[in-house]
């Protein structure tokens, strides 16, 4: 009997359809009244330095959750919350018991304010018995879902669904991460060895978060599915914050336009060479990105319906990103340490030596966006 092989795109669409059908539905969601914050890809490990990417941002995460709790936000943790590929769950819980888990517990103890989905790195949470064994003692009797639907128009899903390495071949990828990537991290060799080995073609990360070509494919498929479905999809997985479906090239085009306008208005030519260098750099980056898309036989679609958003991750060098759905407004924000007092030697003394600031990157009217997605 001949086995029919389907493409990655078809497999992704099928997996997303299944997640949609199995999603937890928030029937009482009110677009103009409710507040939700969606955070993805914490990758909480066991706090071993070098291999736990979340560790430097734990306090930023806790501060952000306290801020959202005080302002009556619902919390959605959208997959890869725990780094199950690299660490044992019992060690993760012990490491973050009094920090990140305590901050999350504020929402878990408030009925209707706590939601979780599972990703590829914490896929064990698809098993209710494991959730009860590990998470119930620390968070209470929570549920972890394949996806979340806010009404019928907003779909929150991790985004690994249909990914060849993170879904279909997750066991092999997990072995690679645990036995190759983690030791390199712990020995401090990733920054030294990874790029030279990639250039020689000896290694290539199967993880979407580390491979730009896989990121392009994931974002593209998730956007296409959401556009066909006529919904706003909020994902994680790729570790790349995206707002209103803007691809990397779309964002760079906007930056390039602004730089050229600044160059025209620079009457005194005080920033002429700096602006010109920036323009050349952005143009070169756009070309390289297009070449990468061409190699992957993908298209830069230009004007995109705003069907796809990505909340980024919590493992940036300085800070975490999130998507806020706030009483009819949607935002991409970043929480990060601001050490301007330390560097600037200002006379003004803040309440603390550094501050944790919430920076709004993009904002939009959600009602208008939903109307545009549905072709209205």
What pLDDT digit, counting tens, does each position of 178-200 carry?
A: 545 455 555 554 555 555 554 54
Most confidently predicted of 62-71, 204-213, 244-253? 62-71
Considering the domain architecture, whether residues 125 and 268 belong to the same structural domain is answered as no
> What would the pLDDT profile of 67-126 be if each residue is shown by its tens digit?
999 999 999 999 999 999 989 999 999 999 999 999 999 999 999 999 999 999 999 999
Looking at residue 207, its pLDDT comes to 44
Residues in the chain: 376
- In this predicted structure, the answer to whether residue 24 has a pLDDT above a threshold of 60 is yes
Phi-psi region of 333 (alpha: psi -120 to 50; beta: other; left: phi over 0): beta
Looking at residue 290, its pLDDT comes to 62
Judge whether 68 lies within some domain. yes
- In this predicted structure, the answer to whether residue 246 has a pLDDT above a threshold of 80 is no
**Residue 328 main-chain phi, psi, to 5 deg:** 95, -5
What is the number of structural domains in the chain? 2
Judge whether 356 lies within some domain. yes
Judge whether 3 lies within some domain. no
Higher pLDDT, 306 or 146: 146
Considering the domain architecture, whether residues 59 and 87 belong to the same structural domain is answered as yes
In Å, how far are 43, 44, 64, 336, 337 from 57, measured between CA atoms?
A: 11, 10, 11, 8, 9
Looking at residue 219, its pLDDT comes to 85
Domain that holds residue 266: 247-301
Share of the chain above pLDDT 90, in %: 53
- In this predicted structure, the answer to whether residue 257 has a pLDDT above a threshold of 60 is yes
Considering the domain architecture, whether residues 108 and 166 belong to the same structural domain is answered as yes
Strands (E), 12-146: 24-26, 35-39, 74-78, 114-117
- In this predicted structure, the answer to whether residue 215 has a pLDDT above a threshold of 80 is no
Residue carrying structure tokens 């705003």:
306
Considering the domain architecture, whether residues 69 and 119 belong to the same structural domain is answered as yes
Considering the domain architecture, whether residues 82 and 137 belong to the same structural domain is answered as yes
Considering the domain architecture, whether residues 333 and 272 belong to the same structural domain is answered as no
Please choose, from the candidates 304, 323, 305, 303, the residue with its C-alpha nearest in 3D space to the C-alpha of residue 313.
323
pLDDT confidence of 210, banded at 50, 70, 90? Answer: very low
Looking at residue 183, its pLDDT comes to 59
Considering the domain architecture, whether residues 200 and 344 belong to the same structural domain is answered as yes
Looking at residue 166, its pLDDT comes to 44
- In this predicted structure, the answer to whether residue 6 has a pLDDT above a threshold of 80 is no
Q: Rounded mean pLDDT of the chain?
A: 82
Judge whether 2 lies within some domain. no
Terminal Cα-to-Cα distance of the chain (whole angstroms): 47
- In this predicted structure, the answer to whether residue 248 has a pLDDT above a threshold of 70 is no
Judge whether 169 lies within some domain. yes
> What would the pLDDT profile of 316-370 be if each residue is shown by its tens digit?
988 999 999 999 999 999 999 987 665 555 555 556 678 899 999 889 999 999 9
Looking at residue 251, its pLDDT comes to 66
Dihedral angle sign, alpha carbons of residues 72, 243, 27, 125: negative
Judge whether 253 lies within some domain. yes
* Final residue before a domain boundary, out of 258, 286, 301: 301
Query: Half-sphere exposure of 211 toward its Cβ, with a 13 Å CA cutoff?
Result: 15
Considering the domain architecture, whether residues 98 and 128 belong to the same structural domain is answered as yes
What pTM did the predictor assign? 0.76
Considering the domain architecture, whether residues 158 and 63 belong to the same structural domain is answered as yes
How far is it, in rounded angstroms, from Cα 97 to Cα 89? 12
Looking at residue 213, its pLDDT comes to 45
Looking at residue 298, its pLDDT comes to 43
Considering the domain architecture, whether residues 268 and 157 belong to the same structural domain is answered as no
How far is it, in rounded angstroms, from Cα 104 to Cα 220? 32
* Final residue before a domain boundary, out of 278, 301, 324: 301
Judge whether 137 lies within some domain. yes
Considering the domain architecture, whether residues 242 and 284 belong to the same structural domain is answered as no
Considering the domain architecture, whether residues 106 and 40 belong to the same structural domain is answered as yes
- In this predicted structure, the answer to whether residue 209 has a pLDDT above a threshold of 50 is no
Judge whether 1 lies within some domain. no
* Residue 343, helix vs strand vs coil: helix
CATH of the domain at 210: 3.60.21
> What would the pLDDT profile of 132-143 be if each residue is shown by its tens digit?
999 999 999 999
Please choose, from the candidates 35, 335, 50, 48, the residue with its C-alpha nearest in 3D space to the C-alpha of residue 191.
50
- Return the minimum-mean-pLDDT range out of 34-38, 201-205, 247-251, 256-260: 201-205
């Amino acid at each position: 009997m001949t086995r029919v092989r389907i493409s990655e795109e078809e497999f992704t669409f099928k997996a997303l359809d299944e997640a949609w059908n199995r999603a937890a539905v928030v029937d009482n969601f009110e677009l103009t009244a409710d507040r939700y914050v969606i955070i993805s890809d914490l990758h909480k490990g066991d706090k071993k330095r070098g291999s736990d990417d979340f560790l430097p941002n734990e306090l930023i995460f806790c501060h952000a959750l306290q801020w959202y709790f005080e302002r009556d936000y619902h919390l959605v943790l959208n997959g890869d919350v725990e780094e199950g590929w690299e660490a044992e769950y019992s060690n993760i819980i012990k490491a973050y018991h009094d920090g990140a888990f305590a901050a999350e517990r504020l929402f878990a103890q408030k009925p209707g304010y706590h939601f979780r989905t599972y990703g590829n790195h914490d896929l064990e949470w698809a098993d209710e018995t494991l959730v009860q064994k590990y998470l119930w003692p620390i968070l209470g009797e929570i549920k972890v879902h394949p996806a979340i639907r806010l009404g019928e128009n907003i779909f929150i899903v991790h985004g690994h669904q249909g990914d060849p390495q993170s879904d279909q071949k997750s066991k092999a990828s997990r072995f690679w991460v645990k036995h190759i990537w983690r030791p390199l991290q712990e020995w401090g060799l990733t920054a030294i060895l990874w790029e030279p080995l990639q250039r020689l073609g000896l290694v290539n990360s199967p993880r979407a978060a580390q491979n730009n070509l896989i990121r392009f494919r994931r974002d593209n498929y998730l956007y296409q599915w959401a556009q066909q479905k006529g919904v706003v999809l909020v994902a994680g997985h790729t570790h790349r914050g995206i707002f209103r479906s803007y691809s990397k090239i779309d964002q760079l085009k906007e930056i390039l336009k602004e730089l050229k306008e600044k160059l025209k208005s620079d009457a005194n030519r005080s920033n002429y060479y700096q602006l010109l260098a920036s323009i050349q750099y952005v143009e070169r980056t756009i070309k390289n990105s297009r070449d990468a898309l061409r190699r992957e036989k993908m298209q830069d679609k230009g004007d995109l319906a705003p069907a796809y958003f990505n909340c980024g991750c919590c493992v940036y060098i300085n800070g975490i990103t999130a998507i806020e759905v706030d009483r009819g407004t949607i935002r991409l924000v970043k929480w990060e340490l601001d050490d301007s007092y330390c560097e600037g030697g200002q006379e003004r003394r803040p309440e603390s030596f550094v501050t944790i600031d919430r920076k709004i990157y993009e904002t939009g009217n959600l009602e208008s966006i939903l109307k545009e997605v549905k072709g209205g």
